[in-house]
Amino acid sequence: MPTTIFTVDGETVDVIKDFQGDVLKPANSFLWIPSLRAVIAGDVVFNGVYAYLADSSPESHRAWHDSLQLIAALQPQVVVAGHKRDAEIPDSLQAIAMERYLDDYESARIASSNADQLVAAMKRNYPDWTQEDLLVFSAKTAFPGTTPK
């Protein structure tokens, strides 16, 4: 994009770029619409969906926390997740509870000795979340040479 600020129907939209999300490098962007106090979060926020963590690391998770804290500091009233379980889930600030998910994943990874244990721990903590394939692939990557059931 030639600029990081543009307007839509007279409303300013800021492109906040090069922040951490679900990949190793800080290459994600999100949109901030000040007049609506809204964030369109892209791959920085997952809401009710297991996060794709196969292309990330404990270090990138810490940077991801920083991205989530930046979103929270904007004090948005609306947070549209890049990945959402279904349309019934509100687009609220609670969507950035991703910080807890990242912490829970790291704790479960450390406590697990294989991918199956990691998957089971996360499913216990987040039983109603969807896209289990993302969780399984992430766990398989965390424990190379194992294949979760």
Residue 25 has pLDDT above 90, yes or no: no
* 75-111 tens-digit pLDDT: 999 999 887 888 888 787 776 678 899 999 999 999 9
Domains of the chain plus CATH, in order, are 5-142 (3.60.15.10)
- The whole-angstrom distance between residue 115's C-alpha and the CA centroid of its chain comes to 20
Q: How confident is the model at residue 26 (pLDDT cuts 50, 70, 90)?
A: low
Q: Which long-range contacts (CB under 8 A, 24 or more apart) does 55-62 make?
A: 55/22, 55/23, 55/24, 55/141, 56/22, 56/23, 56/24, 57/24, 58/106, 60/20, 60/23, 60/24, 60/25, 61/102, 61/105, 61/106
The whole-number average pLDDT for the span 62-68 is 85
Residue 38 has pLDDT above 90, yes or no: yes
